[in-house]
Amino acid sequence: MEKRIYFDHAATTPVKKEVLDKMLPYFSEVFGNPNSQHAFGRDAVKAVDEARDTIARLINAKPSEIYFTSGGTESDNWALRGTAHALREKGKHLIISSIEHPAMLTTAKQLEKDGYDVTYLKVDEYGLVDPEEVRKAIRPDTIFIGVMAANNEVGTIEPIKEIAEIAREHKIMMFTDAVQAAGVLKLDVKELGVDMMSFSGHKFYGPKGVGVLYIRSGVRVDSILTGGHQERMKRGGTTNVPAIVGMAEAFRIANENMEENARYVTALRERFINGIFARVPDVKLNGHRTRRLPANADFSFKYIEGEGILFHLDLAGISVSSGSACSSGSLEPSHVLLAMGVPAETAHGSIRFTFGTDNTEEEVDYAIDVVAKTVEKLRAMSPLFKTEEGEKEYV
């Protein structure tokens, strides 16, 4: 088989072998429903309790503050819609950043149709939310502030602690989508000062279709998935025992190896960034130079389309993302880049490379070479980019 290189770890990651091994017995040996009042049920309860304890310990929460969900999307929906519903008598104003994941933005748009007012916080050219902008946006009827811990497209790490302090001063619920940060950055809910936080198993080498919503005890948030007595009556649906066991194991491994992984992946990223700058003219690194996720390098290649680059890289066996996986397929430029003030033409030529612990320097070097040649070839064909007598001229 041809060589394949995966540089799309922000979209999803492979399940680690140790994680899969830990999950397997819970499919067909210890298969009980934790809600059942018998030995099979009790064995399942034990596994889920252990997973809950592990996760709680790693984010400095109480086990009773950990709620299992079907993933980041459900957790984000729950935090936003559940708070909006629970506190609707108090006010109908919500504040979120303009660069949130579609799981937040689409939910906010729907809530607007239901009569809520949403302020979408601007970001600066690096994708950073200014805590002072949050303070200015607060009104007497504000009931929710949601800013992601780190952005999935450009990797910018947001000042959550500072924003949460402002939220607390005003007694407003503070939520952070930590899906990209979990397993990569230290997340201590007490230190961050957040009331709610979401994350998802498949972004840190765990399984898909499972996530967490941390809800600080005492916080009022209505259920969105109503059903049985699961998750202390707050989230119906038969407990996904193997996925929960796998997510907790993956989270434990990611946290235990956090510094070492960050060092390794940052080195790959820097090698890649430096290589691209050395070989490719007219390229911009999106996001913040240092306040960024270790794995993320997001570039705008001027005069060409991201889709074209992605297609050629895919032919060469390199898997990347243009904009974000969620918005690819649409011809709209990334809402994140537009919010950062990147012109639409430039935003169109953007590619996200996200590295993982399974990548190597050789893969990075190969990719630099392929990217450089691909960009040169596409620019030669681009109507936006002219070559005259060997001299490059941009029109």
Ligand X SMILES: *Cc1c(COP(=O)(O)O)cnc(C)c1O
Per CB under 6 A, residues contacting ligand X are 71-73, 76, 101, 103, 148, 152, 177, 179-180, 200, 203, 211
Residue 244: CB minimum distance to ligand X, A: 14
- C-beta separation of 56 from 66 below 8 A: yes
When the beta carbons of 203 and 352 are compared against ligand X, the nearer one is: 203
Helix H or strand E segment including 132:
helix 131-137
Residue 7: CB minimum distance to ligand X, A: 16
Residue 335: CB minimum distance to ligand X, A: 13
Residue 181: CB minimum distance to ligand X, A: 8
- C-beta separation of 20 from 202 below 8 A: no
Residue 211: CB minimum distance to ligand X, A: 5
Helix H or strand E segment including 120:
strand 117-121
Q: Which residue in the shown chain puts its C-beta closest to ligand X?
A: 72
Residue 169: CB minimum distance to ligand X, A: 26
When the beta carbons of 111 and 304 are compared against ligand X, the nearer one is: 111
When the beta carbons of 148 and 370 are compared against ligand X, the nearer one is: 148
Q: Dihedral, CA atoms, 351, 328, 197, 293, nearest 10 degrees?
A: -10
Residue 102: CB minimum distance to ligand X, A: 8
When the beta carbons of 147 and 273 are compared against ligand X, the nearer one is: 147
When the beta carbons of 8 and 195 are compared against ligand X, the nearer one is: 8
- C-beta separation of 215 from 69 below 8 A: no
The three-class DSSP label of residue 315 is: helix
Contacts of 152 (CB under 8 A, 6+ apart): 10, 101, 179, 180, 324
Q: Distance between CA atoms of 202 and 224, rounded to whole angstroms?
A: 22
When the beta carbons of 10 and 310 are compared against ligand X, the nearer one is: 10
Residue 275: CB minimum distance to ligand X, A: 26
Q: Exactly one of 45, 285, 326, 338 is catalytic; which is it?
A: 326
Q: What is the side-by-side order of every strand in the sheet holding 283-286?
A: 283-286, 296-301, 350-354
Determine whether 326 is an active site residue.
Answer: yes
Smallest CA-to-CA distance from 48 within 75, 23, 76, 14 is with 23
The three-class DSSP label of residue 150 is: strand
Got the DSSP string for 187-241?
--HHHHT-SEEEEEGGGTTS-SS-EEEEE-TT-----SS--SSTTTTTS-S---H
Q: Distance between CA atoms of 22 and 16, rounded to whole angstroms?
A: 10
- C-beta separation of 152 from 182 below 8 A: no
Q: Distance between CA atoms of 40 and 57, rounded to whole angstroms?
A: 26
Tell me the two tokens of residue 337.
Answer: 């880049």
- C-beta separation of 181 from 321 below 8 A: no
The three-class DSSP label of residue 355 is: coil
Strands 173-177 and 142-146: parallel
When the beta carbons of 351 and 371 are compared against ligand X, the nearer one is: 351
When the beta carbons of 143 and 179 are compared against ligand X, the nearer one is: 179
Would you name the residues annotated as active-site residues?
Answer: 326
